[in-house]
Amino acid sequence: DAGITQSPRYKITETGRQVTLMCHQTWSHSYMFWYRQDLGHGLRLIYYSAAADITDKGEVPDGYVVSRSKTENFPLTLESATRSQTSVYFCASSENDLGTQYFGPGTRLLVL
Amino acid sequence: AQSVSQHNHHVILSEAASLELGCNYSYGGTVNLFWYVQYPGQHLQLLLKYFSGDPLVKGIKGFEAEFIKSKFSFNLRKPSVQWSDTAEYFCAVNEDTGNQFYFGTGTSLTVIP
């Protein structure tokens, strides 16, 4: 039972490059979420998705793009990475909008 | 927008000491409340949650939390901590009318053997 996985686990990139972080869940959960975790800010929601082809902005969406063509995948793209996007990114999924969220292991992204 | 406050940023305790971590939120309506734990190098895991009913909620590993609606609080407690409780603890709130979860900034707990 793989649960929820993220890839890559670690990524170093340069300013201006496009980066895509992958998230995959095997539970067929309807809802999926992307958070970034930064010191002093806790977790902040970037985007979420209620179902395939349905996405919505969270608290800090600027500079990020998401898609959800399949229920099990929810990739997060940084179209032109900036140093301020250096962070740890967590993907999560839940059965419904009020339910427990299950988190992936995180992706540590460093933008030079 | 909802705000979630965790006033204790860093807590250091000796083993067997009692723990209480504060969590306050700002939304005046119906909320669902969560405590997550993140052990060093690991992802977030659910400790406990409150949706409705008994305001005293018991979670895994001996943790409990009490929802006090009048104080907009959901404090986490454990009567006797262990070294293995060393971790980052996050309070989270989900408004009953929305899809978004709001997390606090986290409390880092270090338990000294």
* Per-residue tens of pLDDT for chain B, all 113 residues: 678 999 889 999 999 999 999 999 997 788 889 999 999 988 889 999 998 899 999 998 999 999 999 999 999 999 999 999 999 999 999 877 666 788 999 999 999 99
Mark yes or no for CB contact B101/A41 under 8 Å: no
Mark yes or no for CB contact A59/B103 under 8 Å: no
The CATH superfamily label for domain B4-112 reads: Immunoglobulins (2.60.40.10)
Query: Residue A76, SS3?
Result: strand
Q: What is the DSSP string of chain B?
A: ---EE---SEEEEETT--EEE--EE---S-EEEEEEEE-TTS--EEEEEE-SS-SEEE-GGG-EEEEEGGGTEEEEEESS--GGG-EEEEEEEEETT-S-EEE---EEEEEE-
Q: How confident is the model at residue A112 (pLDDT cuts 50, 70, 90)?
A: very high
Query: Residue A83, SS3?
Result: helix
Torsion of CA B4, B75, B101, A50, to 10 degrees: -170
B104 to chain A, minimum CA–CA distance in Å?
6
Best of B36, B99, B108 to disrupt the A interface by mutation (most A CBs within 10 Å)? B99
**Looking only at Cα atoms, what is the longest distance across chain B?**
44
Tell me the per-residue pLDDT of A94-104, one tens digit each, with 9 for 90 and over. 987 667 889 99
Closest CA to B82 of B26, B34, B3, B18: B18
The label of the residue with tokens 């409705």 reads B52
CA distance linking residue A64 with residue A58, whole number of Å? 11
**Looking only at Cα atoms, what is the longest distance across chain A?**
37
The CATH code belonging to domain A4-111 is 2.60.40.10
Q: Which residues of chain B lie closer than 8 angstroms to A106, CB-CB?
A: 43
pLDDT, position B98: 64
Q: Which residues of chain A lie closer than 8 angstroms to B94, CB-CB?
A: 97-98
Burial letters B40-66, b for 16+ CB under 10 A, else e: eeebbebbbbbbeeeeebebeeebbbb
What values do phi and psi take at B71, rounded to 5? -105, 0
Q: Which residues of chain B lie closer than 8 angstroms to A102, CB-CB?
A: 46
Q: Which residues of chain A lie closer than 8 angstroms to B23, CB-CB?
A: none
What values do phi and psi take at B70, rounded to 5? -65, -25
Of B51, B99, B105, the CB nearest to A42: B105
Query: Residue A86, SS3?
Result: coil
Best of A43, A49, A89, A95 to disrupt the B interface by mutation (most B CBs within 10 Å)? A43
Mark yes or no for CB contact B43/A106 under 8 Å: yes
Domain locations along chain B:
4-112
CB B65 within 8 A of CB B32: no
Q: Does B42 touch chain A (CB under 8 A)?
A: yes
A7, amino acid identity: S
Mean pLDDT of chain A: 92
Q: Does B35 touch chain A (CB under 8 A)?
A: no
For chain B, the C-alpha Rg in angstroms (whole number) is 13
Q: Does B11 touch chain A (CB under 8 A)?
A: no
CB B88 within 8 A of CB A41: no
